[in-house]
Amino acid sequence: MVSVDQAIIAKLKTQGHNFEILVDCNGALALKSGKDIDVRSILAAQKIFSDAKKGFEAPENAMKAIFGTQDPLEIAKIIIKKGEIPLTTEYKEKLREEKRKQIINIIHVNAVDPQTHLPHPPQRIENALLEANVHVDEFQDVHKQVQEIIKKIRPILPIKFEVKEIAVKIPAEQAAKSYAAVKQFGRILREDWQTDGSWVAVIEMPGGLENDFYDKINKLTHGSVEAKVLKVK
């Protein structure tokens, strides 16, 4: 059970009535997202209020008529799933940090230095975001934010999005176990199993994954793979 001081007020307005509960923000959001959470563990009080700040409890007849029950735990679940949950400053900061990491990873994986055609290390991208004073929106989709962020950091960090087509030939001994790993890096455009059992394929992948791709298949094949870039787009 969360303390009253740490709880936020989740609200549901329906049929002319206001229903509120005192609840832990993180726990309520987890339950709302579908996770199996014991609602008792995230409530500061097993009560349903019409005005939590004033301590006014919701009338039992209204709860019975609207929810079909007077059980505060069952009603609390409905309020969480259908109502409004205000986000704490701490939770917003957590969301921003998570999205910041996602954005850095997207840039690292998909973009390269146009001079070297190598990906920028995550720390270098992080430094560019700080220098450009980039604000990450905790609510906006990360893919939508990336394009605007690229414009802001490009004067600081030379950057270009590239897609590469890489041809590989993997010997028969490692071909089967390497197939699934290769698919994880991108889209297989063409493939062919040779008469000697070796596997030849052309994979399209984000430019920033090229080095990771080579590292992975070299480990799997003990360095016996043949690979070369066919096209850069």
The pLDDT tens digits of the residues spanning 170-203 come to 999 999 889 889 999 999 999 999 999 999 999 9
The pLDDT tens digits of the residues spanning 45-64 come to 999 999 999 999 999 999 99
Residues 6 or more apart in contact with residue 22 via CB below 8 angstroms: 2, 4, 7, 8, 9, 43, 44, 45, 47, 49, 52
The number of folded domains in the chain is: 3
pTM, entire model:
0.68
**Domain stop point among 25, 56, 82:** 82
Angle (CA) 176-178-184 rounded to 5° is: 125
Q: How many CB atoms lie within 10 A of CB 29?
A: 20
pLDDT above 80 (res 1):
no
Q: Which of 64, 2, 33 is nearest to 19 (CA)?
A: 64
Q: Which tokens go with 77?
A: 């679940």
Q: Which of 52, 39, 36, 46 is nearest to 80 (CA)?
A: 39
CATH value at residue 93: 1.10.10.900
pLDDT above 90 (res 217):
yes
Torsion sign over Cα 3, 6, 8, 9: positive
pLDDT above 80 (res 156):
yes
Q: What gap in Å lies between CA 112 and CA 52, rounded to an integer?
A: 53
Confirm if 24 and 9 have CB atoms less than 8 A apart: no
pLDDT above 80 (res 88):
yes
Domain match, 144 and 108 both: yes
Q: How much is the pLDDT for 105? A: 94
Strands (E), the chain: 8-14, 17-23, 49-51, 56-57, 111-112, 160-161, 163-170, 187-193, 199-206, 226-232
CATH value at residue 55: 3.30.1250.10
pLDDT above 90 (res 221):
yes
**Domain stop point among 38, 60, 82:** 82
Instruction: Provide the β-strand partners of residue 200.
Output: 169, 192
Residues 6 or more apart in contact with residue 8 via CB below 8 angstroms: 22, 23, 24, 25, 28, 85, 86, 88
Q: How much is the pLDDT for 120? A: 93
Lowest mean pLDDT among 1-10, 38-47, 182-191: 1-10
Domain match, 140 and 188 both: no
Place of tokens 């590989």: 168
Domain match, 168 and 222 both: yes
Q: How much is the pLDDT for 36? A: 93
Q: What gap in Å lies between CA 75 and CA 77, rounded to an integer?
A: 5
Domain match, 107 and 155 both: yes
Q: What gap in Å lies between CA 230 and CA 164, rounded to an integer?
A: 8
Q: How many CB atoms lie within 10 A of CB 85?
A: 20
Parent domain of 11: 4-82
Q: How much is the pLDDT for 139? A: 86
Domain match, 106 and 70 both: no
**Domain stop point among 58, 82, 106:** 82
SS3 45: coil
Q: How many CB atoms lie within 10 A of CB 100?
A: 19
Domain match, 153 and 169 both: no
The pLDDT tens digits of the residues spanning 103-149 come to 999 999 998 999 988 899 999 999 999 999 999 999 898 989 998 99
